[in-house]
Structure 1
Amino acid sequence: MSKRSLPFGCWPSPITATDVARHEGAPNWPVALGEEVWWAEPRPSESGRVALCRTRLDDPAGGTETVLPAPWNARSRVHEYGGRSYALLPGRAGAAVVFSEFGDQRLYLFDPAAGAAPHPLTPDPAMPGALRYIEPVVSPDGAGVLCIREEHTEGDGPEAVRRAIVSVPLDGSAATDPAAVRVVAADHHFLACPRLSPDGGRLSWIGWDHPDMPWDSTELRVADLRDGRATGARTVAGGAGQSVVQAEWGDAATLYCVTDPDGWWNPHRITLDADGAVASGPDSLVGVRREEFGGPLWQLGACWAVPLPDGRLAAVHGTAATRLGLLSPDTGEVADVDTPHTEWSPKLALAGADGGTVVGIAAAPDRPVAPVAVDLADGSWRTLSAGGTESAPFAAFLPRPEARVFTGVGGREVHANLYPPHHPEVTGPAGERAPYVVWVHGGPTSRTPMIYDQEVAYFTSRGIGVVEVNYGGSTGFGRAYRERLRGGWGVVDVEDSVSVAQGLVAEGLADPARLAIRGGSAGGFTSAAALAFSDVFRCAAIQFPIVDLAGWRTGETHDFESHYPESIVGPWPSARDVYERNSPVDHAEDVTAPFVLLQGLEDEICPPVQCERFLSRIRGRGVPHAYLTFEGEQHGFRREDTIRTALEAELSLYAQVFGFETDVPRVELRP
């Protein structure tokens, strides 16, 4: 059947903003106890809470259950980005769970079979949410959990924070007696990945301090556990210019860690002697393999590699895309599991009575993100959640993505994911080029995977192309690529975004008069900077952005990122001129293109004051724009109505600027 021709941008699409909003977010953080597998699941329609769901591997029907009822919200605010907020332990009939409740940030114990509501394990702090917990690990005797505690004090500035690895008893005594929570270790400002050796005699963890970020320099520490406290702590891997992002015990004397002394996050082995000193290592298990077995620790609890009962490791690895492989430590050989998934998240767990099943979070361009179980005995796999069906929603309207490498300034490579407009029944007018939107990921030390994304399809099914830019500074391509951004944030990212847009124009794919840019957080910074420092983009959708680097460096963000600009902008205050030269707020007079600005009013990472300062310098200058704010939203939008409103406002912006008709509510652009 021949396709009919319609102008780009107004193709009829069955994918609505409500569809996108209801499916925003993805299953996350699988944890297993025997045959039970649990995972976290965002619920935009339930005020954006995070529910806990479960299934059983030995259930032939494959049924799933929402275990944690509304309004409970299993989400930690440690580092504001959170991470794995729960752990499983034996309950009356099946697993019970220890989890961090978003509302007050206390730890709670919940046994679904007990017929009672969750009850608190940690004290109610004097300041709301001042004590936060993450990465719980059940102690060998089952009497408590070890976890990272973040304590917010009454001091000034974002750094009025202390962190420690603490033990919390499961009998509930600490809920009324704060002294029952005992400090186990506290030797760095930032802590991650607490792990107990199989015999319970040693504890390992990762630590780092300002001004480093966890992808810059971290240390892997090991200590003996005596009377519930870490003693004799020593560094066994990492240090200046090396980033350890995960460590797991193989046995009481063997630690496997993911670190990058050769510029790539590769798996290494450390052997300890009887006294806990390093007998050998860290030795790479794969030589110098030019691909990543690790990534940035934006959230705590990530797991790229997990030791298997047979001595191998299950490992997520790759460059732009990731696969699940089985690594033999003795030979360095990696045998990839045969599944159709092209992206595996760093969230692995072992399940089954004998640990013979690997559970992870996986996706592909035509498969929604879902928990997936792989049977190591025969290599078979299955999707565990009800939403991860074989046939993706709106399958016929999904774009046909392509991984691309463009040429940037000075001939450098710029990686990107290209999603051309696609509709099963419609095409654009002959000889007409499509409008394109450059999507810029947050971080900026992060990357955008090429997976099923209804938000992308919302635009491409209407005749608007999307290209996601993994600009210099992104992860997934080695340390040298991610360090391109050192001292160049606001320059390299903008140049690479412009280069990709111009590359599409040069290929005859994109209309140079209908190019837009959009991004959130650090991507919002790049989008705003692109309007100020280039004339390529005709409009921008800017979400919860950084726009004032100096303000962000001097107290207008949270502790975790308060020194981040030291590496990607320059040392403060000696590089003040660079901060001002690269900040959109200091060049507001150069912004002439229309934009929509979208901001959560409870955002502690990129607070509204940044947007308000930017707008104060824009208003009255004749630049059409809209500023939409959302009560109850933090960094990143989680609620169905917010996501829908933001998406429709973005489409309305493009329709008005690019000159096509759309049926979404018109956002008013005022000068």
Structure 2
Amino acid sequence: MASQVVAPFAGRTPIEDIDIDPNTGYIYYTARRSGRCTIIEYSPESRRLRDILPKEFSARTSVHEYGGAALRCTPYGWLIFTDFKTSSVCSLVPGTGSVKILLPGRLNTRYADFEPHPLCAEWMLAVRETHSNTTVNDLVVINCTQGTSTVIASNYDFYSSPRFSPDGKLVCFLSWNEPDMPWTGSLLSIADWLEKGAIQYPRIVSGKLKSESVSQPRWGLEGRELFFASDASGFYQLYKTWGGLANRLILPGLEDRDFSRPEWVLGCRTYVQLSQEVMVACCTSLATDAVVLINLRDWTHRTLDLPIVAVADNGLVKVSDKSFLVLGKSPRDPWTLYVVDVSDSQKPTYEALPRGDHDKTIQKDWISISSLLSIPRTHGAACGLIHAIFYSPKNPYYTGPSDALPPLILSFHGGPACHSTPALDPKVQFWTSRGFAVTELNYAGSSGYGRDYRDMLDGHWGEYEVDDAVSIVSYLAQESLIDGSRVGLTGKSAGGYAVLQALTRDPDLWAAGVSIAGVSDLTELMRTMHKFEKPYVARLISGEARCSNTELESIGKERSPFARAASVNFPLLLIHGTNDKVIGKGHSEKMRDAVVSAGGCVKLVLFDEGHSFRMPENIVAAKQEEENWWVKYLVTNEMQ
């Protein structure tokens, strides 16, 4: 196997929130440092990065459990952030590093998605989540002078994206009710702002519960227009309101592109208006992102030539009327923050900001370049194409035997309403540098291919993704790209559930498996899942139509992997965080016990982490456990 050159670092972006001071042009973002989130300042004049958050604070939130939007610049020269440790809402003066608590934290109360009033420093909007016997989500206004918060909207189960109009007279926000997720059905509303810190006359502008998702509302620069994305056409397209009517931006050739994505985290930003005439937007096709420049006068557009095939959820920020920030990566480059200048729209220029130590580069001759696959389904009841991303082994110092095909690691992404991209992922390169082929499966239910594909998994969770895995492995084996007898399955969260389902449903097809924070008992998951995702679980199990609790429990039992643990005749590695609030460690413990009782080969490794691992030493240790497993059972075939 290969030497330890490609390190096992996580592939998700280490930058979690980005904003820019409208007065100074300084750029701020949150970055992970040894388990906490600090705030980094970038000065355009000095071109230097500076850590400005005192070490006793961590700028992070867990609203909806997945967080996002914990940092916001204000027009008044200070930053707003929420401290993960205390849940306090704080202000930070970058020049001095002084922190002031604007709203003291309370037990089991979380804040995020801040929106300062554009003309009055006293007021700020936010999303609040309170945990007691039940979880309550509200839209609140924070009085930054008095240190109080007041509920201004609470009629819906969930809220996000509160935004003031530029003149401060109007407020827009998103809301939705169970059993919806924000990407299955949501509403965009506008209300009048009262100077005493309240709203009145809320009215719905767009969206429809259970059938139309709206996302990312953003006021036009002069406040007369409100832009947003809607998937009413089957793809997230851009719209704007004018005179009370919502009109779609007709962009020829881009009708089958997604200009937004499922909002698992708060603060998504994949389009931004630069001037009255120009908007820049990320659009997705076949899980691949491109950045387009849109003329708002005549709706003409052009794709910018940038080294990017993936843009982060919070990836676009306006710098000036001729420039913007984009956080993206290519098949050869890791997450990079670029400043793009479109003064010459025919020949835009871009410059990469310093990375500091927040990401690791990989030598170019080690990188395995992705290949996009779209093939017909050959297994299961679903029809149409299945999508995947394939990587061949790549190591400049080692070549596999000429008469042998490489073992395959097939990866299921989490979500499941997410997708893998063809951009550089250190986790993938870790395996390809060690002689493994890798396939990232964008199974039925993945985003990045329009709403119909995303909705396919409803009612068929635990079925279609497994069928798709069988189809893609059969294809790769027939094309002599892999050794079909040495296939390992890996995945985290919903991906971990897919691993367990595949291993127990079709045990003779796979050689080994690794489930990270995976679900083993759907009936238990329905009882314990947090508020944000609980209706999603029911939708995935039963489909769009509601069914009785008895029916749900019956289907849940049928599709729970631990109930079929006796069929596990291959080695199974389970990895879980002891503090996982999304999928408790009991799922992996239950699966381990069931496999042990059946006499199977299983190992459970627990880490002092939550649902997403954040400590570098734990990320490395978990990857080393996984590597040892694959070497033992896919390379040396110790079970045979």
Work out whether the TM-score is over 0.5: yes
Question: Which residue of 2 is the match for residue 165 of structure 1?
Answer: 139
- C-alpha separation in 1, matches of 2:190 and 2:75: 28
Show the 5 A alignment for 1:618-633. 618-631=595-608, 633=609
- Aligned partner of residue 121 in structure 1, secondary structure: strand
- Cα displacement (A) at 1:282: 3.6
Match status 1:384 vs 2:364: no
Question: Which residue of 1 is the match for residue 21 of structure 2?
Answer: 33
Show the 5 A alignment for 1:467-506. 467-506=439-478
- C-alpha separation in 2, matches of 1:473 and 1:349: 26
- Aligned partner of residue 513 in structure 1, secondary structure: coil
Aligned-pair Cα RMSD in Å? 2.1
Question: Which residue of 2 is the match for residue 49 of structure 1?
Answer: 36
- From 304, 314, 318, the counterpart of 1:337: 304
Question: Which residue of 2 is the match for residue 267 of structure 1?
Answer: 238
Q: Is the 8 A contact 2:114 2:125 kept in 1?
A: yes
Question: What does the per-residue CA deviation read over 1:6-31, in whole Å, with 9 as the maximum and x for residues that have no partner?
Answer: xxxx13341244xx26x864223210
Q: Is the 8 A contact 1:266 1:286 kept in 2?
A: no
- Cα displacement (A) at 1:582: 1.4
- Cα displacement (A) at 1:411: 4.9
- From 352, 368, 375, the counterpart of 1:406: 375
Question: Which residue of 1 is the match for residue 66 of structure 2?
Answer: 81
- Cα displacement (A) at 1:351: 4.3
Match status 1:195 vs 2:182: no
- Cα displacement (A) at 1:561: 0.7
- C-alpha separation in 1, matches of 2:354 and 2:157: 38
- Cα displacement (A) at 1:170: 2.8
Match status 1:433 vs 2:401: no
Match status 1:244 vs 2:211: no
Question: What does the per-residue CA deviation read over 1:418-476, in whole Å, with 9 as the maximum and x for residues that have no partner?
Answer: 11101123211012010010011000011011212221111101101111000010001
Question: Alpha carbons of 1:215 and 1:389: their partners in 2 closer, same or farther (altered >3 Å)?
Answer: closer
- Cα displacement (A) at 1:267: 0.2
Question: What does the per-residue CA deviation read over 1:537-557, in whole Å, with 9 as the maximum and x for residues that have no partner?
Answer: 111111011221111112x22
- C-alpha separation in 1, matches of 2:40 and 2:433: 32
Question: Which residue of 2 is the match for residue 7 of structure 1?
Answer: none
- Aligned partner of residue 565 in structure 1, secondary structure: helix
- C-alpha separation in 2, matches of 1:624 and 1:429: 29
Question: What does the per-residue CA deviation read over 1:579-625, in whole Å, with 9 as the maximum and x for residues that have no partner?
Answer: 11211122222222211101111111001122222222221322111
Identity of aligned residues (%): 25
Unaligned runs of 5+ in 1: 1-9, 175-179, 273-277, 662-668
- From 11, 26, 34, the counterpart of 2:2: 11
Q: Is the 8 A contact 1:97 1:111 kept in 2?
A: yes
- C-alpha separation in 2, matches of 1:507 and 1:395: 27
Question: Alpha carbons of 1:648 and 1:619: their partners in 2 closer, same or farther (altered >3 Å)?
Answer: same
Q: Is the 8 A contact 1:30 1:360 kept in 2?
A: no
Q: Is the 8 A contact 1:373 1:382 kept in 2?
A: yes
Higher mean C-alpha displacement, 306-315 vs 470-479? 306-315
Question: Which residue of 1 is the match for residue 265 of structure 2?
Answer: 299
Question: What does the per-residue CA deviation read over 1:504-539, in whole Å, with 9 as the maximum and x for residues that have no partner?
Answer: 111111111210010000000001111011132111
Question: What does the per-residue CA deviation read over 1:605-647, in whole Å, with 9 as the maximum and x for residues that have no partner?
Answer: 001122222222221322111101112x111111112111110
- C-alpha separation in 2, matches of 1:365 and 1:438: 19
- Aligned partner of residue 12 in structure 1, secondary structure: coil
Tell me the TM-score normalized by structure 1.
0.88
Question: Which residue of 2 is the match for residue 177 of structure 1?
Answer: none
Q: Is the 8 A contact 1:131 1:152 kept in 2?
A: yes
Question: Which residue of 2 is the match for residue 211 of structure 1?
Answer: 179
- Cα displacement (A) at 1:390: 13
- C-alpha separation in 2, matches of 1:119 and 1:97: 10
- From 605, 624, 635, the counterpart of 1:648: 624
- C-alpha separation in 1, matches of 2:449 and 2:576: 31
Q: Is the 8 A contact 2:14 2:359 kept in 1?
A: no
- The one-letter amino acid paired with 2:88 is R
- Cα displacement (A) at 1:576: 2.5
Q: Is the 8 A contact 1:433 1:510 kept in 2?
A: yes
Question: Which residue of 1 is the match for residue 552 of structure 2?
Answer: 575
Higher mean C-alpha displacement, 559-568 vs 429-438? 559-568
Question: Which residue of 2 is the match for residue 96 of structure 1?
Answer: 78
- Aligned partner of residue 146 in structure 1, secondary structure: strand
- C-alpha separation in 2, matches of 1:166 and 1:331: 38
- The one-letter amino acid paired with 1:168 is I
- C-alpha separation in 2, matches of 1:238 and 1:330: 25
- Aligned partner of residue 603 in structure 1, secondary structure: coil
Q: Is the 8 A contact 1:366 1:392 kept in 2?
A: no
- Aligned partner of residue 473 in structure 2, secondary structure: helix
Q: Is the 8 A contact 1:30 1:371 kept in 2?
A: no
Higher RCO, 1 vs 2 (CA within 8 Å, ≥6 residues apart): 1
Unaligned runs of 5+ in 2: none
Q: Is the 8 A contact 2:273 2:318 kept in 1?
A: no
Question: Which residue of 2 is the match for residue 602 of structure 1?
Answer: 579
Q: Is the 8 A contact 2:52 2:97 kept in 1?
A: no
Higher mean C-alpha displacement, 64-73 vs 101-110? 64-73
Question: Alpha carbons of 1:350 and 1:643: their partners in 2 closer, same or farther (altered >3 Å)?
Answer: closer
